[in-house]
Structure 1
Amino acid sequence: MPKHNITDFNGIIMYRKDYQERDLLVKILTREFGKKMFFVRGAKKRGFKLTADILPFTYGKYIGDIKSEGLSYINSSKSTEQFKNISNDIFKNAYVTYIMSLIDFAFPDSEVLTSWYEPFFTGMKLVDQGLDAAVIANIFEVQLLPVFGVQPELRGCVICGQTNPPLDYSESYGGLLCEKHYHLDPRRMHLDQRTVYYLRQFSVLDLKSLHSINVKSETKKHLRHFLDQIYDDTVGVHPKSKRFIDQMNEWEGPQTSI
């Protein structure tokens, strides 16, 4: 039988979906137990006591019955708060949902994700505070690549270790090439140096040290193109939320520098 225990836990609501007529299934990224799916009985009934506590983009401390396998259960909440700016802004909403989807794809349920819980929470907080959501998403895309089994060498040239620009990315070699070794891959990606700079920075960035973002629109397009190619060619993960972002970009959403 699955082990279970009633305990306090910290969590971020990832998503929820209908289950039968009055109930919900709520996916929560917990600090202590990783991703868990919770069955919430009567959640769609009027006056349900936990309605506000299980809204999307809500985080806080809960009390629940955590099962080692299958569905867990929320008994009550101690303190919760919603990232309202994310909830109320379609662009912020879309990018945070995309990051959540990548995390959901990258890790199995019930794997403790202590090293990812805090960065994700920090990323949500930064987006809610107004920092560029697209760039925050790029940072997660880069840092999640090793989890997907893709370990691009972004520290320097994969051949000789040269770290000074100019550098370019080679899919064939799985990392950067210095100018001296460009000839090894005629199909290298021909990235501009500003894009290479940001990719290298994103791979090692601690989000807690990030206080502002100032990335030009053209560079953001180049970053998007590079990461799309890497995810399409080597990762093979295509969340629905990413398709929605692509549609939003076709609307010519805000092109901001912060």
Structure 2
Amino acid sequence: MAKAKPADFHGILLYTKDYGERDLLIKFLTREFGKKMFLVHGAKRPKFRMRAAILPFSYGLYSGDLKEGGLSYINNYKDLTHFKGISADITKNAYATYVMSLIDLAYPDDAPLPKIYDQLMIGLKLIDDGFDEQIITNIFEVQLLAAFGVAPNWVDCAICHRRDLPFDYSESYGGLLCQNHWNKDPYRLHLDQKTIYFLRLFSVVDLTKLHAIKVGDATKKSLRRVIDQIYSRSVGVQPKSKRFIDQLGNFKI
């Protein structure tokens, strides 16, 4: 059995889960060690000393005993912040939870993910600050496809590689088809060019440079429809948090 080693880590709390009558299992995405599961003894006691550190949408610098391939333990925290805007808004809460669920499903535990940590931190801060939570979520959904083993070609036509003609999306060809080759796939998704534009943009956009994106309601619905279809048919996962968003009516088509 691997021995736990004391270490400091930067962590974003992904979720908590009951463990017995008094304890909690808490999963963090850490910048240094990837996704780790922690057992927190006595976490459900009213006077638990680290209650603030294990609230939903917490992030900061923690210290603990970390074990590879098993449960780790949190000892203390040195710096702590909460995404207050997300915590206070049920819609932002739902979208943020869904993004974190996708990241949890897309990557294995115990593998360092510093770039994903930084990306999630930026994305959550944007949502917390009032940026359109659906657009941030769409960006994560499109960019996480590769981690799920689905890597659509958003660059050019899958057949002739032209970039100067209208595109449509083909599941059969795993990406875009230009207008000259739409006849190759009678089941192409028949997307409008605004939807195609944003899908291509979302696949490469850098969240650190994102200041504003204006997307009309009709295009939002179209983006939701096509991304849902790709995840349903090609990825095959739907976290419970996504179903909750559907119930809120925010993903209605």
Smaller-chain TM-score bracket: over 0.9
Deviations, residues 95-133 of structure 1 (Å, cap 9, x unaligned): 010011111111111111112110011000000000011
Aligned 8 A contact 2:65 2:72 in 1? yes
> Structure 1 CA distance, aligned partners of 2:151 and 2:220?
22
Following TM superposition, by how much is the alpha carbon of 1:85 offset from its aligned partner in structure 2, in angstroms? 0.6
Aligned 8 A contact 1:195 1:219 in 2? yes
User: Does the alignment pair 1:207 with 2:204?
Assistant: no
> Structure 2 CA distance, aligned partners of 1:217 and 1:104?
29
> Structure 1 CA distance, aligned partners of 2:69 and 2:183?
52
User: 1:110 is aligned with what amino acid?
Assistant: D
User: Does the alignment pair 1:50 with 2:20?
Assistant: no
- Secondary structure at the residue paired with 2:154? strand
Cross-structure match for 1:168: 168
Q: Which runs of 4+ in 1 moved over 2 A?
A: none
> Structure 1 CA distance, aligned partners of 2:46 and 2:244?
31
**Could you say if the C-alpha distance between residues 251 and 29 of structure 1 is closer, same or farther in structure 2, counting changes exceeding 3 Å?**
closer
Aligned 8 A contact 2:10 2:31 in 1? yes
> Structure 1 CA distance, aligned partners of 2:76 and 2:184?
60
User: Does the alignment pair 1:80 with 2:83?
Assistant: no
TM norm structure 2: 0.97
Aligned 8 A contact 1:165 1:193 in 2? no
> Structure 1 CA distance, aligned partners of 2:96 and 2:226?
20
Following TM superposition, by how much is the alpha carbon of 1:51 offset from its aligned partner in structure 2, in angstroms? 0.4
> Structure 2 CA distance, aligned partners of 1:166 and 1:96?
33
Of residues 210-219 and 7-16 in structure 1, the stretch that sits farther from structure 2 once superposed is 210-219
Aligned 8 A contact 2:224 2:251 in 1? no
User: Does the alignment pair 1:7 with 2:2?
Assistant: no
User: Does the alignment pair 1:138 with 2:138?
Assistant: yes
> Structure 2 CA distance, aligned partners of 1:71 and 1:207?
32
- Secondary structure at the residue paired with 1:79? strand
Cross-structure match for 1:181: 181
TM norm structure 1: 0.95
Cross-structure match for 2:223: 223
Following TM superposition, by how much is the alpha carbon of 1:165 offset from its aligned partner in structure 2, in angstroms? 3.8
User: 1:171 is aligned with what amino acid?
Assistant: E
> Structure 1 CA distance, aligned partners of 2:48 and 2:194?
51
Deviations, residues 209-250 of structure 1 (Å, cap 9, x unaligned): 101231111101000000011011110001101111111117
User: 1:146 is aligned with what amino acid?
Assistant: A
Aligned 8 A contact 2:169 2:191 in 1? yes
> Structure 1 CA distance, aligned partners of 2:136 and 2:74?
30
- Secondary structure at the residue paired with 1:153? coil
Following TM superposition, by how much is the alpha carbon of 1:164 offset from its aligned partner in structure 2, in angstroms? 2.2
Aligned 8 A contact 1:3 1:69 in 2? no
Following TM superposition, by how much is the alpha carbon of 1:18 offset from its aligned partner in structure 2, in angstroms? 1.2
Query: For structure 1, which runs of at least 5 residues remain unmatched after alignment?
Result: 253-258
> Structure 2 CA distance, aligned partners of 1:73 and 1:48?
15
Following TM superposition, by how much is the alpha carbon of 1:251 offset from its aligned partner in structure 2, in angstroms? 9.3
Cross-structure match for 1:256: none
Deviations, residues 69-112 of structure 1 (Å, cap 9, x unaligned): 21000000001000011011010000010011111111111111
Following TM superposition, by how much is the alpha carbon of 1:60 offset from its aligned partner in structure 2, in angstroms? 0.3
